[in-house]
Amino acid sequence: FLFANTPRGARASAIAYSLVETAKENGLDPYLYLEYLFERLPNIRTDDRAAMDELLPWSDRLPERIRRRGKKA
């Protein structure tokens, strides 16, 4: 990434952009999806694979409120 000051900064930016673009591709509102993740992640065990799978952008368990209206995933 051209404007990252460090390799770790570039990696962090790449992760953020990947989350946003994957949310869009799965018919989610990126802002609401990230908000949902930031609310849920601190309260789950990250080694619980089933809990983490429910947070993925293609999960059927995501709330309808974060899906874009008029778009299907």
CA dist., res. 67 & res. 64, Å (int): 5
Instruction: Say what the alpha-carbon torsion angle 64, 66, 67, 73 is, to the nearest 10 degrees.
Output: -100
CA dist., res. 56 & res. 54, Å (int): 6
Total residue count of the chain as it appears in this document: 73
- Output the pLDDT for position 73: 46
Query: pLDDT tens digits for the chain (73 residues)?
Result: 567 788 888 898 899 999 999 999 999 999 999 999 999 999 999 899 999 999 999 999 999 999 997 555 4
- Output the pLDDT for position 60: 95
* Token reading at 61: 């368990």
3-state secondary structure of 70: coil
pTM (predicted TM-score): 0.82
- Output the pLDDT for position 71: 54
- Output the pLDDT for position 1: 56
